[in-house]
Chains A and B, each alone.
Chain A
Amino acid sequence: MRILRIISILAFLIAATTFSVDGQCKAFAKKVCIPELGVYTHDGNYHAAILVEGEEAELYKTFYSDMEYRVSVCGEDKLPEVEFRVLDANKNVLYSNKDANFAKTWDFKLQSSQQLKLVVKVNSFNKPGETPASGCVAIMFGFKIKK
């Protein structure tokens, strides 16, 4: 019975630790990424995941005309720079933060509503033989409230 109890506690701890890894992403998004939205109101959606250096994530979203948006893309300090590109339906690059010294935010508005794709890539430290770094990356959107 004692062994059974130890095994159960061990299993619980393993599971709890695994779940809490992503839980940290929420705290990270809240503490680091949402403040980057500044005067823009966070839309309330949550897009965050643990990415490893070299890994990419994609996000599809419709953006509406006459709305003023800010996107904030943040990676934990232990990660290399996080690059993000915004593409239209024909894969034309509309913006790349690489051209803006890996800026964490981009402000934009649209003349007509469009579905756009955001590609986020964690760059690489290029250190062969070492375990690739991993950490939370969050993508948050804000818009200006019209009175």
Chain B
Amino acid sequence: MNKKHGICSKILIVVLIFVSLLIGCKSGGTKATKEEVTVNTPKDNTAVVEDIKQAEKIFNALPSPLESAMLIKSAGARFDASLLNPVGNGNSYVTNKSMALNLGIYTCDLSFASLYEQTQLIIDYMNAAKKMADGLGILKAVEQSQIDKLEENINNSEVIMEIVSETFMNSNSYLSDNGQPAIAAMVLVGGWFEGLYISTQLVDLKEFNGNKLVGRIIDQKLSIDILINLLESSKGNPAVDDLIVQVRRLKVVFDKISITTSKIRPEYDKTSNTTILKSEIKTDMTPEVFKELSTTVSEIRKTFVNN
């Protein structure tokens, strides 16, 4: 009886340790969590509140694939289907890293196709994104009902955007809420690189000066540190560590671009109920630096899509 009791106690301890680790792992980059606060409830909770005040949750927000595609379109760029990652490549992505990166890439391609109303490509890339999400075990990221709705509303851009946005949120919320911040970060990185890749490929060097798309590419320098911080919050994950090395290589090129901005002056516009953040910006990127940037982005992206 004692022996049996001893075995059960050991199992209980192992299971409790497992559960503790599971819960601990889930809290990710948050310095202090609600669990830490509610478990220890001292009589005087002033100290607890002080602890909470010091606690912080940091979000490093990259432009979503939809926003990246919107930035390309608003710069007046043309659509070029040959720049997208062929959907047939989807079969070769079997690791979590390649599926995560290509979920971001395919979602960006899907957004790009959606904004330019490329009906058949919208369906194809939605299915390609679904395949990546399914491979990553993301439950209900893209449901058949959403694909059906997409097909039924293929000429309604508003509904299409809504579905693209919703499916992407389903994926990243699932990953964030289920303790997979590294995968969530890789999805965002994939989408960001795809937007940058498409932008750099669409620039015509003959029309370099004053090109709005070049301006959008320069703007990405503002996100490079956010990108590094996002990845560093999952440092130690071998796939993420590899990506950090690649992103740092890209940062070296971005550092050759100068951006200076004046002080921001918020001005409220009553008629539109909108605040306009006024400021002047000076940027400098030579065609040589652009070529180097374009080559670097292309080489890194190649490692993502060629697996």
Complex: A56 Cα to B164 Cα, angstroms: 31
Verify A146–B73 contact, CB threshold 8 A: yes
Of A44, A55, A67, A132, the residue contacting B165 (CB under 8 A) is A44
* Residues of A in contact with B (beta carbons under 8 Å apart): 3-4, 7-8, 10-11, 14-15, 18-19, 22-23, 25-26, 29-30, 41-62, 64-68, 88, 90, 92, 94-95, 106-115, 124, 128-132, 134, 139, 141, 143, 145-146
Verify A113–B263 contact, CB threshold 8 A: no
What 9 pairs across the A-B complex have the smallest Cβ distances? A44-B168, A112-B281, A61-B61, A59-B59, A57-B57, A22-B177, A46-B173, A44-B165, A26-B173
Within 8 A of A (CB), among B247-265: 261, 263-264
Known contacts A14-B19, A19-B179: A58-B74 contact under CB 8 Å? no
Residues of A within 8 A of B65 (CB): 44
Distance in Å: Cβ of A142 to nearest Cβ of chain B: 9
User: Is B94's CB within 8 Å of the partner chain A?
Assistant: no
User: Is B55's CB within 8 Å of the partner chain A?
Assistant: yes
Q: Which of B120-128, B146-154, B221-229, B284-292 forms part of the interface with chain A?
A: B221-229
Distance in Å: Cβ of B58 to nearest Cβ of chain A: 5
Distance in Å: Cβ of B281 to nearest Cβ of chain A: 4
User: Is B300's CB within 8 Å of the partner chain A?
Assistant: no
How many contacts between A and B, using CB within 8 angstroms?
A: 220
User: Is B203's CB within 8 Å of the partner chain A?
Assistant: no
Distance in Å: Cβ of B139 to nearest Cβ of chain A: 11
Residues of B within 8 A of A146 (CB): 70, 73-74
Known contacts A41-B161, A41-B162, A134-B38: A129-B45 contact under CB 8 Å? yes
We find that the number of chain B residues with CB closer than 8 angstroms to chain A is 84
Complex: A92 Cα to B262 Cα, angstroms: 13
User: Is B266's CB within 8 Å of the partner chain A?
Assistant: yes
Complex: A13 Cα to B63 Cα, angstroms: 36
User: Is B1's CB within 8 Å of the partner chain A?
Assistant: no
Of A45, A50, A90, A111, the residue contacting B276 (CB under 8 A) is A111
Of A59, A64, A131, the residue contacting B71 (CB under 8 A) is A64
Verify A108–B275 contact, CB threshold 8 A: yes
Residues of A within 8 A of B45 (CB): 128-132
Complex: A50 Cα to B55 Cα, angstroms: 12
Greatest chain B CB density within 10 A among A22, A30, A111, A130 is at A111
Complex: A44 Cα to B63 Cα, angstroms: 9
User: Is B245's CB within 8 Å of the partner chain A?
Assistant: no
Known contacts A4-B8, A14-B19, A54-B52: A43-B277 contact under CB 8 Å? no
Residues of A within 8 A of B172 (CB): 44-46
Known contacts A62-B63, A132-B52: A92-B274 contact under CB 8 Å? no
Complex: A80 Cα to B220 Cα, angstroms: 37
Complex: A118 Cα to B32 Cα, angstroms: 19
Verify B66–A41 contact, CB threshold 8 A: yes
Verify B73–A139 contact, CB threshold 8 A: no
Within 8 A of A (CB), among B111-155: 115
Complex: A130 Cα to B105 Cα, angstroms: 48
Verify B277–A111 contact, CB threshold 8 A: yes
In the complex, residue of chain B having the shortest beta-carbon distance to the beta carbon of A139: B59
Residues of A within 8 A of B41 (CB): 131
Q: Which of B10-18, B82-90, B234-242 forms part of the interface with chain A?
A: B10-18
Complex: A4 Cα to B15 Cα, angstroms: 10
In the complex, residue of chain B having the shortest beta-carbon distance to the beta carbon of A89: B261
Sample of 6 more A-B contacts, CB < 8 Å, known A3-B11, A95-B275, A108-B276:
A4-B11, A57-B58, A61-B63, A62-B63, A113-B281, A130-B45
